[in-house]
Chains A and B, each alone.
Chain A
Amino acid sequence: MEVSLNFSGGAELLFGKIKQHTISLPAEETWSMKKLLNWIKDNLLKERPELFLQGDMVRPGILVLVNNADWELVGQLDYLLQNKDEIVFISTLHGG
């Protein structure tokens, strides 16, 4: 399963300044957003995980969009990823 991740507004600074990532996840498992965030933390996040995640959640001040819709409208942590999904993380924090 292929998923596109985009980090912007300063969030990319925590990911080696790379904004666009395309990742492939094993399709035989089900992938919730919660699981994806953990995967990002273990595989992509380069430094200071607390500036991206707060507990299981994305830190306040970082907007998450799933296929151009606010993730709060599609189930947030419980949303189940589908092939070719586009996930966008936009940080609006000054000290990000």
Chain B
Amino acid sequence: MCSINEENLPVDTMVATPKLLFKDAVCRRCRILKAQVLLRKTDPYCRDCFMKYAVHKFRSTIGKARALQHNDRVLLAYSGGLSSGSMIHLIKQGLEASDSNKMKLIIKPSLLYIDEGEILNLSKEDRKANADFVLEYAKRNCLDVYMCSLEFSLAADISGVKLQMNSYEVEPSIYASQLERLFGSVKSLTAKEDLLQRLKQRLITLLATHLNYSKVFLGPSATRLAGQLLSAVGQGRGAQIAQEIGFADSRTGVVFLRPMREFVDKEVAYLAHFLEVDSLSLPTLSSKLGPTASIGRLTEEFVVTLQANFPATISTLFRTSDKLKPNVGVDRSSSEFKDDSRCLLCLSAIEQSPLCSASTARSISQTISRSGPSGFKDVESEPQSTNVQQQLKACDANCSNPGKQCCKTMDVGANEKDWGVVLCYGCRVTMEDVKTPELVPINLQEELRLRSRRQMMRQSVEQFLL
């Protein structure tokens, strides 16, 4: 992949892999049994050695991050898919391991299933059947399962959420039609997938907090995360990569952990097969659509295809992304300030955009392209032709918030253009594709007003202290 290596590598590693080099190979670890698994195109393992390797990798992913304490209550997000299903099997094995064994896992897990049927256009019967599959799965694993429907992500707070335990009925709610209308109004599949992810994250956080779980395990594999890494860059979420695909994501107050992130999809498939993990036949928003249907679909296609011929693809992406650290520029002590600098939708820190940032550049070029030749004159004199920029000029040089919104214009009426105060860049891009933003469960106008007022108060206090 990397051009530096081109001359040093033998020619045949750069072209499609030589076929059938490992026909009838013997396991390279025990050197006794016949191999059943071929990893990275070069490492044949027998089933037993593969399982040992996988269990060890799973435990060390959890262990090395030191994210868990004894008897932690952990919610395991279960989608019905192979990756989260395998994750739960591995955790069960860890719980049942003997005490003397260092591999013993001491946590108190329960399952959480979010029914996305409403936006996947599944019939009530299908949703019930899926839920029954999950209930049966939980029962077989002797775990409690909390069940909730995605439409409740639109509820203002937990009191509006119908949460069920060890049973599930699809019941009509006002949020169901709201969710349907919301997704119906989203123009692109990319924005739909992003919105789905944000809403799911919001709902899980709401439920975990309510149920008093401080940790949630999510099941995405390395392959899925590598695709998400590229999508995140493509969608202007580059600053959030460490949280979006790293092992731990603590943006919401509830800590999301991704213990399957060291397994590529081929390993997940082997695991699921050997552990006899059954999966739900769940479609996704992009099921049966071509590779260019959305950014997420395209990056998945890209990663999977590249990985098939170059097994180092994913680890290269991961090694690169693990070096990226979030640039936390906000270190004021006030927690209120921290809350005010977080995106309402995904809870990431909103990047402060100085006058010369990439997002300013994008907004200038967008303004120019949209205004056309006739509107260009106005644009030239005022690069950001929003009211923010206009009023910034009116402010005297003492403005304590230069480059952003001026202190004196904080209380002007909020409109879509001002989302920068309450949404991060990635969420703004998504919300631009949402035709009915009022259906999203965050009160943008209200929050914008509150944030502006708090900021003014802080400023007057600061002036007083000086």
Q: What residues make up the interface of A, taking CB atoms closer than 8 Å to B?
A: 8-10, 12-14, 17, 19, 47-48, 51, 60-61, 63, 65, 68-70, 72-76, 78, 88, 90, 92-96
User: In the complex where A9-B272, A65-B273, A72-B38 touch, is A93 in contact with B300 (Cβ < 8 A)?
Assistant: yes
Are A72 and B286 in contact (CB-based, < 8 A)?
A: no
Q: How would residues 291 to 303 of chain B score, 1 for a CB under 8 Å from any chain A CB and 0 otherwise?
A: 1010011001100
Partner of A60, one of B227, B296, B307: B307
In the complex, A1→B214 CA distance in Å? 55
Are A68 and B273 in touch, CB under 8 angstroms?
Answer: yes
Supposing A10-B282, A63-B270 touch, asked if A90 and B36 sit within 8 A by C-beta, the answer is: no
Q: How far is the CA of A68 from the CA of B304 in the complex (A)?
A: 22
* Closest A residue, CB atoms, query B297: A95
Interface range for B: 35 or more
Q: Is the CB of B36 within 8 A of A68?
A: yes
Question: Once the chains bind, are B20 and A75 in contact (CB under 8 Å)?
Answer: yes
Question: What 10 A-B pairs are tightest by C-beta distance, nearest first?
Answer: A92-B265, A60-B308, A95-B286, A63-B269, A90-B269, A69-B36, A61-B304, A70-B38, A9-B82, A95-B297
Binary interface encoding of chain B residues 1-40 relative to chain A, with 1 for a CB under 8 A from any of its CBs, else 0:
0000000000000000001101111000000001111100
| Nearest A-chain residue to B82, judged by Cβ | A9
B305 in the interface (beta carbon within 8 A): yes
Q: Is the CB of A73 within 8 A of B25?
A: yes
B287–A13 touching, CB < 8 Å = yes
CB–CB A76/B36 < 8 A: no
Q: Is the CB of B265 within 8 A of A13?
A: no
With A13-B281, A17-B281, A73-B38 in contact, do A90 and B23 touch (Cβ < 8 Å)? no
Q: Which residue of A lies closest to B25 (CB)?
A: A73
Complex: chain A residue closest to B284, CB-CB: A94
Q: Can you give 17 A-B contacts (C-beta < 8 A)?
A: A8-B82, A9-B269, A10-B282, A47-B288, A60-B308, A63-B273, A73-B22, A73-B24, A73-B36, A73-B44, A76-B20, A92-B223, A94-B227, A95-B284, A95-B288, A95-B297, A95-B301
Interface string of B243-269 (1 = CB under 8 A from A): 000000000000000000000011011
Q: In the complex, which residues of chain B have a beta carbon less than 8 angstroms from the beta carbon of A96?
A: 287
Assess the A61–B36 pair: CB atoms within 8 A. Answer: no
Q: Is the CB of B288 within 8 A of A13?
A: yes
State in angstroms the CA–CA spacing of A19 and B272 once bound together.
15
On whether the beta carbons of A68 and B47 are closer than 8 Å, the reply is yes
- The answer to whether A78 touches B20 (Cβ under 8 A) is yes
From residue A67, how far is it (CB to closest CB) to chain B in Å? 9
B336 at the interface (CB under 8 A from A): no
Contacts of B25 in A (CB 8 A): 73
A90-B273, A93-B300 known; A9+B289 contact, CB < 8 A = no
Least distance between A9 CB and chain B CB atoms (Å): 5
B81 at the interface (CB under 8 A from A): yes
- Inter-chain contact B279/A94, CB cutoff 8 Å: no
Q: Are A63 and B266 in contact (CB-based, < 8 A)?
A: yes
Assess the B300–A95 pair: CB atoms within 8 A. Answer: yes
**Closest beta carbon of chain A to B153's beta carbon, Å:** 20
B192 an interface residue at 8 Å Cβ cutoff?
A: no
Q: A68-B273, A76-B19, A96-B287 are in contact. List 19 more A-B contacts (CB 8 A).
A: A8-B279, A10-B281, A13-B287, A60-B304, A61-B223, A61-B265, A63-B269, A70-B270, A90-B273, A92-B82, A92-B265, A92-B269, A93-B300, A93-B304, A94-B227, A94-B286, A95-B284, A95-B286, A95-B289
Our pick among A14, A48, A73, A95 for the contact of B23 (Cβ within 8 Å) is A73
Question: How far, in angstroms, from A94 to B293 measured CA to CA in the complex?
Answer: 12
B224 beta carbon closer than 8 Å to chain A? yes
CB neighbours of A70 from chain B (8 A): 35-38, 270
B283 to chain A, nearest CB (A): 6
C-alpha gap A65/B297 in the complex (Å): 25
Interchain CA distance A13-B282 in the complex, whole Å:
8
Kindly list chain A residues whose C-beta atoms are within 8 Å of the C-beta of B265.
Answer: 61, 63, 92-93
For residue B47, which residues in chain A have a CB less than 8 angstroms away from its CB? 68
Q: When the two chains form the complex, which single residue of B35, B221, B278, B291 contacts A73, counting CB atoms closer than 8 Å?
A: B35
Q: Give the chain B neighbours of A76 by CB distance below 8 A.
A: 19-20
